[in-house]
Amino acid sequence: MLARIAHELYWLGRNLSRAEHTARMLDGVFQADVQARSEEAGVTLSWGSLLAMMGGETDDSGVPHRDQVLRSLTLDADNPASVVACIGRAREGARTVRDVISQEMWESINTTNLELREGDLSERLRVGPYSVYQYVKERSALFWGLTRRTMLRDEAYSFLQAGGRLESADMMLRMLRVALAASGGGRDDGHALSLLQAVGGMQAYRRAVPGPPNAGPVVRFLLFERAYPDSVAASVDLLEQSLNRADDNPRNAEPVLRLLRLSADLEFRRRAEEDTATAPRLAEICEQVQAELGKVDRDVHDRYFAGAPAAA
């Protein structure tokens, strides 16, 4: 297929996935923040760290206000990291590839974009941000559901999936690294409920892991648990499968080889770090995995999009 189209699809997946993860994190942090921190707050996200991880800058006082962060990361079209900006870019990308994706997929993303631009979002955000984030989550699920149901499993599908999964893994690692850094690294037994809330993984965790949601087990779950669809390991596997299908000669493809190695490496680390890993050690693993995924991203651009105009 055309390198330019593959590039658009890959970034369509990335933008949508980024919007959803951002919405989930904002919702999770907001709900936690409205109430008092528990005595054993443990590993949490804060407004400041959320803003920083999304590349935003705090004002002079250095202490960001809740409403300011909510607004900036949700509605501010001038902030490229905001939810509306991500959805806007996804919509533009989808428009470019309307002939490749299904009509239903296009309509779902286009409607989402319209609603976010024209609805009275600012007011909704003021009275209760939950409804805004719920909308983004539902529309995102609708898009991916329609994709599975209506899109031909061709190369185009593979690049769309690959983008979505790479972004999921990257956002998850970003969140884990920021949360682990904020925990100070000393105690690693604090609760990490807020991390599960911020990705929507609370119930999955409780069904999968016996024992309380302490930081160590939660971070390991979000990193290594392949049975949880948003874990880093699950994303890496699906990313590898997508590229494997798309590539003419996967045995010879750097991104595929790199992902196969990373996938095996994650499994080895899971076994080695059973119950013993401290917060600094987990932070180190996250850093290494994220760096490796950065290389995968570069490999993908080099191998598949190099011919595309203005590819990064």
Partner 1 sequence: MILREPHVYRPQPGVFDEVFAPGGVPREYAEALVAELTKLGPAELAGAGRRRDAIFVQQGITFDATGEDGPVKDRPFPLDLVPRILPSHEWDHIKRGLAQRIRALNHFVDDVYHAREIVHEGIVPWQLIVSRPNFARQMHGIRPPGGVYCHVAGCDLVRDADGSWRVLEDNVRTPSGISYVLENRTAMTRLVPQLFNRYRVRRVDHYPQLLLAALRAVAPAAEGEATVVVWTPGSMNSAYFEHSFLARQMGVELVEASDLVVRDDVLYMRTTSGLKRVHAVYRRLDDDFIDPLEFRPDSLLGVPGLMRAYRSGSVALANAVGTGVADDKAIYHYVPEMIRFYLGEEPILQNVKTFLLGDPEQCRYALERMDQLVFKPTGESGGKGVFIGPSTPADELEGLRDVILRQPEKWIAQEVVKLSTVPTAGLDGTLAPRHVDLRPFAVFGEKIKIVPGGLTRVAMNEGSMIVNSSRGGGSKDTWVLDDGAGTDGDQASPDEVVNVPQSLPGLRYASWTGQAQQQQQTRAGE
Residues that bind partner 1 (CB under 8 A): 7, 11, 14, 18, 30-31, 34-38, 46-49, 51-55, 58, 62-68, 80-81, 89, 93, 127-131, 174, 177-178, 181-182, 184, 193, 203, 205-213, 283, 287, 290-291, 294, 297, 309-312
What's the min distance (Å) between Cβ of 294 and partner 1?
Answer: 6
What's the min distance (Å) between Cβ of 85 and partner 1?
Answer: 10
d(CA 12, CA 93): 6
Query: Which is closer to partner 1, CB of 104 or CB of 287?
Result: 287
Q: CA 141, 145, 148, 150 torsion: positive or negative?
A: negative
Query: Which is closer to partner 1, CB of 244 or CB of 288?
Result: 288
Q: CA 179, 184, 189, 193 torsion: positive or negative?
A: negative
Query: Which is closer to partner 1, CB of 45 or CB of 116?
Result: 45
What's the min distance (Å) between Cβ of 258 and partner 1?
Answer: 17
d(CA 262, CA 239): 11
Query: Which is closer to partner 1, CB of 104 or CB of 174?
Result: 174
Residue 79 is classified by DSSP as S
Q: How would you classify residue 310: left for phi > 0, otherwise alpha for psi between -120 and 50, otherwise beta?
A: left
What's the min distance (Å) between Cβ of 138 and partner 1?
Answer: 12
CB atoms within 10 A of CB 191: 18
Query: Which is closer to partner 1, CB of 149 or CB of 206?
Result: 206
Structure-token match 């850094």, residue found = 181
Q: Between 130-150 and 155-182, two packed helices, what is the crossing angle to 10 degrees?
A: 150
d(CA 275, CA 270): 9
Query: Which is closer to partner 1, CB of 134 or CB of 150?
Result: 134
Long-range CB contacts (< 8 A, 24+ apart) of 239-242? 239/161, 239/162, 239/165, 239/166, 239/169, 239/296, 242/158, 242/159, 242/161, 242/162, 242/165
Query: Which is closer to partner 1, CB of 42 or CB of 146?
Result: 42
What's the min distance (Å) between Cβ of 132 and partner 1?
Answer: 11
d(CA 236, CA 262): 8
What's the min distance (Å) between Cβ of 312 and partner 1?
Answer: 5
What's the min distance (Å) between Cβ of 191 and partner 1?
Answer: 8
